[in-house]
Amino acid sequence: MKIAKSFISGALLTVAAGTAMAADLPSRKAPPPSYIAPMPVFSWSGFYVGVNGGGFINNSTLTTAVASGRESGGGFLIGGTAGYNWQLSNNFVVGLEADVDYRSTTTVSTGFTSSSPARDGFFGTVRGRLGYAWDRLMIYGTAGGAFGNAIAPNVLSMPFYGYYGQRSPNNGGTKFGWTAGVGAEYALTNNWSIKAEYLYADLGKKTLAYVSPFSGLTTGLVPTDVSAHVIRAGVNYRFNWGLGAPVLAKY
């Protein structure tokens, strides 16, 4: 009996010692996953304002009683921009943009008339934009309305036909038409972006009166189809009013 009791007591002591040693060993359980701060996702949504500048190439057509030709010449544009974008969940961006630019003077020639300067003026648009965003890069198409004044020579001189007339000062008035084009915009920061775009603008037909410098009488009514190619770049600042940028949380 004594031997049995000693054996049982020894076994119990061995088990107890093993349990105590196991409790002192480091845990093999994996540590809980660490929390990584949410990473903001860039969004194009929001109201923005900016400045733009570039050049235009005259594409108007001038028609007289004896000949018709496309006007040459070009100049620079500079002005301001305002707009609003909505970025959709599928990375498409829809927006509305408006701008007004000062248009410089240009020298006009049609091939059948002598070269003559044209008046300076303005050019503006109100357009919709539809783009696709790869994070901070957006490629877009744009179309809408355009407005401005006609590009036409101040003097209409056709030596071959023996004609000379000066553009009447009463040839003012804003023309309305359409415009369409493409562009790209890149966000340098969450607020600042740069863009470049091409637009074709057609302002319809404008009939201009030319008068004789000798008699002061109108010598001709000249219809002009007013159009131009516009290439320009810009810088925009986007306000994040009332917008909470979406985030991606990683665990």
DSSP category for residue 153: B
Query: How would DSSP label each residue in 50-95?
Result: EEEEEEEEE--EEE-SS-EEE---EEEEEEEEEEEEEE-TTSEEEE
Over residues 191-225, the pLDDT tens digits come to 999 999 999 999 999 888 888 887 777 777 888 89
Please tell me the predicted confidence (pLDDT) of residue 80: 98
Using one digit for the tens of pLDDT, what is the confidence trace for 33-89?
665 655 567 899 999 999 999 999 999 998 887 778 888 899 999 999 999 999 998
Which DSSP letter does residue 191 get? Answer: S
Of the pLDDT bands very low, low, confident and very high (cuts 50, 70, 90), residue 111 is confident
Is pTM beyond 0.75 here? yes
Domains of the chain, CATH where assigned: 38-240 (2.40.160.20)
Question: 246, 1, 3, 199: which is closest to 101 by C-alpha?
Answer: 199
Q: Do residues 118 and 107 touch, judged by C-beta distance below 8 A?
A: yes
C-alpha distances out from residue 190 to 51, 85, 124, 158, 194, Å:
18, 14, 27, 56, 12
Angle at 197 between CA 43 and CA 72, to 5 degrees: 170
